[in-house]
């Protein structure tokens, strides 16, 4: 089903810290000029002249803030606000670039620079990556904040699970305060000074990645912040290639991890009215990989994101200059090379396809199992810090480490790798994704905040062995959902030491529970400690397994147990036929067929897609009648049968690696303007009923090849940001 486009909508954008350059002018709807350095006005002006809507992006936890650190801003040195670990080591993003404790003073410093951006006329501001490392919490500024927040003297976070949990809750609250203060104050400044509204967004990693990398961030808290207009989901190869364990095998699973990451970010804003852009990156922060490696993983992340049709806006690239002008290792490791020309064309094709995606909903008629969710809460981040005896730390052992995706995991100790795996979550998630079931990570915190949030879910998986419910009302909402016919599957053995943290379920003055699931079960009439097995609750049921979900990741039996539990849950609902495993994940969005063939499955046969397609992952946009995919492959195709149905014989651009504008049709001519970065080869496939006798691009004869059977024409020509006029004449 086609949609009516929103007027002036910002479907695609990118971020860049460098001044305008034609080679990385991607011709999106907006650009996020990065950083609040003194040359900001000049950089803004350069991109504005190129026709862009201007946003500003800057780091809210780190940046080139040396004038603040060294006292040049207010006369006081602020290194006491640098995030610090238990050994007194500053946590750095670069030389003299520490991650900051978000004090009120630091927030006011950022405000002075954001005012400058508003003065320059930016329409939106992105405060990216509010990040507080779980291993931090030892800076003098944080100790002061602890005293003010809790009304008691600071406790070293590693001292106990309770101290670690409370430290992390404070870290999230501090960044919420900083962002709320900045966004509200700057919106008021813009209205008072200029009479115009400025929008504020938070680009952030997913809750899955922050938890896995052991970083604390506000995440779901921000959905309820009035001054926050939305988010960018910062998901890319660098986050998604983080290893995890499935059937006892630890390795990178870029597609599956990205699929879950994009999924939790879609759920973060579903039904809230907030905007969400999905980010893709053709490379990553780690510059040690080859172009072939980047290309394979990029395809996996793009396909993973497109399988979540609830989001239709995209940041198509961070730092395009490093993509289109940077050099990376050759396959033979002898030197470096810039981006291959064909790959550059593919990237531009995908970026322009992403801009078209908002025009289409997912088509009905999917044959896969729907309505299966896995609950995940902000509190998962609060359980990821160090709670290790001093003796281990003094011996150089233990879990104290900082992982940001740029360190080879084989450099970590076995204990560190096990902690990084975060198997309690993946033990429940991967068996279903690997079976072709489109599992949705459910933002547990939203259940209480947004009524009806669980509508559409048939089965929920839940465990408090890696997170905790922050409010008892969550259980009332889950209980009501179960009574109305939902099936809850709970895995947990009660062994998590964080069950003992000082929280609502064990606080003095009320009914005291040893573990939060006791309150959950009791609220549904099952008593505090029901027997393992199936329990009817109203029109629904609870399936209880007294097993730690981390153990499920270590064996084939654990994989089977998760899948069997979901199958049984649907049987209880009288929907046994609704459980369908598959060797692929696939959806159709208008003309776009998006497919990933799963690996590590029992059936490892290739998959053949039959029809008439344009392959969007190839530079020359070939027409194919059969596409063969091996396990682990990703595919993005344009279905020509859709074009025939919609466009008929009228000449029209179907797909291009450029932005198309000013299409015009005359009796014997069809022409349009094609915009792209300079020094790139543009591929454009056009529907034509009859082969034209001449095709020119920029006044020069273009390279043309026709596929008579599909009634399409491929035109290739050099691109420019200003635009090339392409003319077909009959």
Q: What are the tens digits of pLDDT across the range 427-445?
A: 999 999 999 999 999 999 9
Q: Minimum mean pLDDT among 306-310, 367-371, 525-529: which range?
A: 367-371
d(CA 440, CA 423): 17
pLDDT at 395 over 90: no
d(CA 461, CA 564): 13
What would the mean pLDDT of 103-124 be, rounded to a whole number? 94
pLDDT at 6 over 60: no
Q: Minimum mean pLDDT among 39-43, 386-390, 459-463, 576-580: which range?
A: 386-390
Q: What is the pLDDT of residue 3?
A: 34
What would the mean pLDDT of 702-730 be, rounded to a whole number? 94
Count helices and strands (H / E) in the chain. Answer: 20, 36
pLDDT at 494 over 70: yes
Q: Give me the sheet containing 487-491, strands edge to edge.
A: 440-443, 372-376, 459-462, 487-491, 540-545, 533-537
Q: Where are the domains of the chain?
A: 372-578, 584-643, 649-729
pLDDT at 394 over 50: no
Q: Assign 398 a pLDDT band (cuts: 50, 70, 90).
A: very low
Specify the fold of 372-578. Answer: Rossmann fold (3.40.50)
What would the mean pLDDT of 85-97 be, rounded to a whole number? 93
pLDDT at 376 over 60: yes
pLDDT at 396 over 70: no
Cβ burial of 432 (10 Å; 0-12, 13-18, 19+) is buried
Q: Assign 409 a pLDDT band (cuts: 50, 70, 90).
A: confident
Q: Assign 496 a pLDDT band (cuts: 50, 70, 90).
A: very high
pLDDT in tens, 682-697: 999 999 988 899 999 9
d(CA 24, CA 339): 12
Q: SS3 letters for 290-341?
A: CHHHHHHHHHHHHHHHHCCCCCCEEEEEECHHHHHCCCEECCCCCCEECCCH
Q: What is the pLDDT of residue 648?
A: 63
Mean pLDDT computed over every residue of the chain: 93
pLDDT at 397 over 50: no
H-helix or E-strand spanning residue 673: strand 669-675
| CB of 283 closer than 8 Å to CB of 323 | yes
Q: Assign 375 a pLDDT band (cuts: 50, 70, 90).
A: very high
CA-wise closest residue to 21 among 324, 418, 315: 324
Q: Assign 393 a pLDDT band (cuts: 50, 70, 90).
A: very low
**Residue 454 C-alpha from the chain's centroid:** 21
**Residue 377 C-alpha from the chain's centroid:** 16
Which residues lie closer than 8 Å to 579 by C-beta, 6 or more apart? 369, 566, 567, 570, 571
Among all chains, which residue has been given the structure tokens 């056009």?
686
What would the mean pLDDT of 561-576 be, rounded to a whole number? 97
pLDDT at 571 over 50: yes
% residues pLDDT > 90 (the chain) = 86
Q: Assign 645 a pLDDT band (cuts: 50, 70, 90).
A: confident
What would the mean pLDDT of 340-364 be, rounded to a whole number? 95
d(CA 146, CA 141): 9
| Pairwise pLDDT comparison (214 vs 385), residue with the higher score | 214
pLDDT at 7 over 90: no
Q: What is the pLDDT of residue 2?
A: 36
Q: What is the pLDDT of residue 24?
A: 96
What would the mean pLDDT of 291-317 be, rounded to a whole number? 97
Which residues lie closer than 8 Å to 679 by C-beta, 6 or more apart? 23, 718
Q: What is the pLDDT of residue 588?
A: 95
pLDDT in tens, 150-172: 999 999 999 999 999 999 999 99
Q: Assign 565 a pLDDT band (cuts: 50, 70, 90).
A: very high
Query: Model pTM?
Result: 0.95
pLDDT at 534 over 70: yes
CA-wise closest residue to 444 among 521, 514, 379, 361: 379
Q: What is the pLDDT of residue 525?
A: 97
What is the DSSP annotation of 276-288?
Answer: EEEE--SS-S-TT
Q: What is the pLDDT of residue 337?
A: 97
Q: What is the pLDDT of residue 123?
A: 95
What would the mean pLDDT of 441-451 be, rounded to a whole number? 93
pLDDT in tens, 229-272: 999 999 999 999 999 999 999 999 999 999 999 999 999 999 88
pLDDT at 698 over 70: yes
Q: Assign 604 a pLDDT band (cuts: 50, 70, 90).
A: confident
Q: What is the pLDDT of residue 1?
A: 31
| Pairwise pLDDT comparison (254 vs 507), residue with the higher score | 254
């Amino acid at each position: 089903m086609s949609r009516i486009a929103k007027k002036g909508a910002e479907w695609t954008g990118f971020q860049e810290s460098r001044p305008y350059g034609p080679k990385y002018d991607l011709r999106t709807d907006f650009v996020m000029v990065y950083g609040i350095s003194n040359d900001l006005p000049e950089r803004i002006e350069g991109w504005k002249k190129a026709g862009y809507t201007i946003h500003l992006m800057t780091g809210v936890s780190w940046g080139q803030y040396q004038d603040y650190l060294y006292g040049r801003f207010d006369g006081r040195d602020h290194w006491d606000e640098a995030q610090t670990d238990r050994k007194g080591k500053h946590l750095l993003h670069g030389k003299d670039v520490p991650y900051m404790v978000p004090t009120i003073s630091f927030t006011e410093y950022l405000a002075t620079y954001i005012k400058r951006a508003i003065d320059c006329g930016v329409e939106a501001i992105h405060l990216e990556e509010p990040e507080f490392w779980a291993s931090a919490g030892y800076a003098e500024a944080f100790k002061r904040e602890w005293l003010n927040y809790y009304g008691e003297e600071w406790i070293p976070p590693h001292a106990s699970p309770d101290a670690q949990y409370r430290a992390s809750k404070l870290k999230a609250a501090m960044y919420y305060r900083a962002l709320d203060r900045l966004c509200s104050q700057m919106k008021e400044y813009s209205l008072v000074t200029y009479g115009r509204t400025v929008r504020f967004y938070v680009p952030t990693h997913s809750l899955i990645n922050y938890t896995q990398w052991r970083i604390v961030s506000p995440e779901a808290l921000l959905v309820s912040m009035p001054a926050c207009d939305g988010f960018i989901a910062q998901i890319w190869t660098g986050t998604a290639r983080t290893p995890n364990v499935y059937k006892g095998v630890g390795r990178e699973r870029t597609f599956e991890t990205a699929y879950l990451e994009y999924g939790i970010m879609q759920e973060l804003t579903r039904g809230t009215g907030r905007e969400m852009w999905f980010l893709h990156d053709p490379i990553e922060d780690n510059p040690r990989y080859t172009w072939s490696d980047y290309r394979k993983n990029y395809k996996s992340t793009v396909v993973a994101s497109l399988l979540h049709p609830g989001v239709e806006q995209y940041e198509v690239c961070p730092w395009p200059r490093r993509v289109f002008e940077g050099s990376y290792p050759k396959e033979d490791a002898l030197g470096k090379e810039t981006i291959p020309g064909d790959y550059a064309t593919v990237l531009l094709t995908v970026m322009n396809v992403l801009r078209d995606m908002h025009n289409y909903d997912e088509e009905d008629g999917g044959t896969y199992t729907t309505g299966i969710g896995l609950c995940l809460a902000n509190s998962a981040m609060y359980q990821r810090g160090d709670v290790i005896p001093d003796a281990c730390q003094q011996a150089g052992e233990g879990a104290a480490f900082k992982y940001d995706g740029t360190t080879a995991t084989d450099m970590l100790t076995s204990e560190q790798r096990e902690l990084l795996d975060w198997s309690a979550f993946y033990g429940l998630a991967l068996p279903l994704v690997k079976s072709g079931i489109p599992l949705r990570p459910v933002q547990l915190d939203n259940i209480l905040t947004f009524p009806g949030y669980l509508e559409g879910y048939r089965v929920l998986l839940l465990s408090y062995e890696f997170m905790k419910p922050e409010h008892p009302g969550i259980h009332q909402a889950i209980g009501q959902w179960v009574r109305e016919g939902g099936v809850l599957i709970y895995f947990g053995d009660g062994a998590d030491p964080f069950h003992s943290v000082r929280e609502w379920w064990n606080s003095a003055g009320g009914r005291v529970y040893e573990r939060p699931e006791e309150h959950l079960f009791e609220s549904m009439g099952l008593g505090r400690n029901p027997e393992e097995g199936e329990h009817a609750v109203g029109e629904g049921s609870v399936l209880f397994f007294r097993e730690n979900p981390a153990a499920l990741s270590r064996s084939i039996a654990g994989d089977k147990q998760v899948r069997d539990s979901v199958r049984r849950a649907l049987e209880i609902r009288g929907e046994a036929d609704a459980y369908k495993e598959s060797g692929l994940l696939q959806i159709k969005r208008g003309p776009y067929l998006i497919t990933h063939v799963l690996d590590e499955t029992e059936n490892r046969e290739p998959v053949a897609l039959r029809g008439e397609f344009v392959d969007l992952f190839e530079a020359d946009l070939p027409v194919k009648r059969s596409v063969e995919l091996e396990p682990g492959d990703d595919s993005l195709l344009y279905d020509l049968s859709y074009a025939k149905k919609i466009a008929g014989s009228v000449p029209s651009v179907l797909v291009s690696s450029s932005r198309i504008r000013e299409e015009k049709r005359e009796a014997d001519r069809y022409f349009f303007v094609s915009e792209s970065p300079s020094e790139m080869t543009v591929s454009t496939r056009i529907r034509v009923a009859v082969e034209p006798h001449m095709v020119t691009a920029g006044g020069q004869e273009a390279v043309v090849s026709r596929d008579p059977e599909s009634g399409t024409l491929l035109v290739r020509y050099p691109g420019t940001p200003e635009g090339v006029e392409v003319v077909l004449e009959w």
